[in-house]
C-alpha cells in the first residue's frame, strides 16, 4: 500500500500551536487530483500543499488545496512549503512554481534553522467587485471607511475597512450570506500607521475564518498605499487570528508609485510541529 508523508507547520507564528496550520506532502508523486482533494478534505486545514518535481525554473512545483477546491496561489502555503523544503536544502532563496507563476522566497536562518521568510508575491491587480451592498449586509455593516475594493494576485480578495481594531474583533458575519457571494475572500481590517488588525472570511472556499492570510497581506499593503494610509515602501505589521485562538503576525511591504505597485513582499516566521504518514 503506497504511503505519503507530510509535515505539519504553523505559519506566520514563531511558536507551535499558533499561526495558520499547514500540511505539506513532501513528495506527492503518485497522487492524482482526486486524491489530493480528498487528503485536503481529510486534514480540514485552511490549505494543504503537495510538492512535486519542478517543471520550469523553480526548485519545486506545488499545488494548493483548501478542503473544497484547488487554489492558484495562497500565501501561507507558499511560505510554509519554502520553510519545509529549506530544512533539507541549504539555500537562501527557494523559487516555487505555482499555478499563478514563480514565487521566490528568501529565507533567513538562525544557525541551521530557518527562522523567517520573505515571499515575493504576484502583483495584485484591481478587479471589479459589484456586490459591495450584499457584502456589507453580510458583515452587518452600513459602510466601509475606504472604498470596498477587490484585488487578484492568483486569489481574489475584497477589502472592507472598519473604524477600529475593536470593530474588527466584534464582527459576527452571516457566513451563509458570504458563501452566496462570488468566489472571493473577504478581508476586513483597521489600524493606523504601520500596525493593522485583520480578519478574513472565505466560506465559499471551505474556510469560515482564516488564522493568517498571506495572500491578502500584500494586497492590503497596496490598498493602504493607494488610499494614502501608508506610503509605498513602508513595512506594515498585521495581526490576525486572535478571535479563533490562533494569533498570527505577518509583515507586508509594497513598493510602487501613483501608477501602481512594482514589487510586493510578505514575510513571516513558521515552525514545524509534527510529521505524519498516510497509507492509502
Contact of 85 with 62, CB cutoff 8 Å: no
Q: Are residues 129 and 62 in the same domain?
A: no
Can you tell me the distance from the alpha carbon of 199 to that of 213, in angstroms, rounded to the nearest whole number? 9
Number of domains in the chain: 2
Q: Is 47 a catalytic residue?
A: yes
Q: What is the CATH number of the domain that holds 100?
A: 3.10.310.10
Predicted pLDDT at 165: 98
Angle in degrees, CA 58, 263, 54, rounded to 5: 10
Q: Are residues 253 and 130 in the same domain?
A: yes
Report which DSSP code applies to 254: E
pLDDT averaged per 10 residues in sequence order, the chain, 280 residues: 95 98 98 98 98 97 97 98 95 97 97 94 95 97 98 97 98 97 93 98 95 98 97 98 98 96 98 97
Q: Are residues 202 and 109 in the same domain?
A: no
Predicted pLDDT at 111: 85
Report the candidate in 112, 162, 117 with the shortest Cα–Cα distance to residue 139. 162
Report which DSSP code applies to 204: G
Q: Are residues 99 and 89 in the same domain?
A: yes
For the chain, how far is it from start to end, CA to CA, in angstroms?
6
Q: Are residues 137 and 87 in the same domain?
A: no
Report the candidate in 252, 244, 171 with the shortest Cα–Cα distance to residue 211. 244
Q: Tell me which of 34, 47, 70, 243 is the catalytic residue.
A: 47
Predicted pLDDT at 183: 81
Predicted pLDDT at 110: 93
Q: Are residues 229 and 153 in the same domain?
A: yes
Q: Are residues 130 and 236 in the same domain?
A: yes
Q: Are residues 223 and 149 in the same domain?
A: yes
Q: Are residues 207 and 257 in the same domain?
A: yes
Domain boundaries, position 176:
125-266
Q: Are residues 140 and 221 in the same domain?
A: yes
Cβ burial of 92 (10 Å; 0-12, 13-18, 19+) is exposed
Q: Are residues 85 and 177 in the same domain?
A: no
Q: Are residues 240 and 274 in the same domain?
A: no
Amino acid at each position: 500500500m503506497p504511503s505519503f508523508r507530510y509535515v505539519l507547520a504553523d505559519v506566520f507564528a514563531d511558536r507551535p500551536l499558533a499561526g495558520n496550520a499547514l500540511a505539506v506532502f513532501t513528495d506527492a508523486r503518485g497522487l492524482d487530483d482526486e486524491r489530493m482533494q480528498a487528503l485536503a478534505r481529510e486534514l480540514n486545514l485552511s490549505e494543504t500543499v503537495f510538492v512535486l518535481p519542478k517543471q520550469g525554473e523553480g526548485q519545486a512545483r506545488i499545488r494548493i488545496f483548501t478542503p473544497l477546491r484547488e487554489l492558484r496561489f495562497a500565501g501561507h502555503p507558499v511560505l510554509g512549503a519554502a520553510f519545509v523544503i529549506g530544512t533539507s536544502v541549504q539555500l537562501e532563496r527557494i523559487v516555487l512554481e505555482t499555478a499563478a507563476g514563480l514565487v521566490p522566497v528568501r529565507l533567513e536562518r538562525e544557525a541551521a534553522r530557518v527562522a523567517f521568510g520573505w515571499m515575493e508575491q504576484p502583483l495584485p491587480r484591481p478587479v471589479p467587485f459589484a456586490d459591495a451592498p450584499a457584502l456589507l449586509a453580510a458583515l452587518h455593516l452600513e459602510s466601509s471607511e475606504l472604498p470596498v475594493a477587490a484585488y487578484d494576485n492568483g486569489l481574489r480578495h475584497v477589502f472592507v475597512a472598519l473604524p477600529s481594531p475593536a470593530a474588527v474583533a466584534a464582527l459576527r458575519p452571516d457566513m451563509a450570506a458570504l458563501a452566496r457571494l462570488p468566489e472571493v475572500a473577504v478581508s476586513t481590517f483597521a489600524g493606523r500607521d504601520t500596525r493593522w488588525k485583520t480578519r478574513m472570511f472565505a466560506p465559499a472556499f471551505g474556510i469560515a475564518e482564516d488564522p493568517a492570510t498571506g495572500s491578502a497581506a500584500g494586497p492590503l499593503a497596496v490598498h493602504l498605499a493607494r488610499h494614502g494610509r501608508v506610503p509605498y515602501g513602508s513595512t506594515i505589521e498585521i495581526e490576525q487570528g486572535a478571535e479563533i485562538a490562533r494569533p498570527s503576525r505577518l509583515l507586508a511591504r509594497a513598493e510602487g508609485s501613483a501608477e501602481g505597485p512594482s514589487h510586493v513582499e510578505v514575510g513571516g516566521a513558521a515552525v514545524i510541529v509534527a510529521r505524519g504518514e498516510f497509507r492509502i
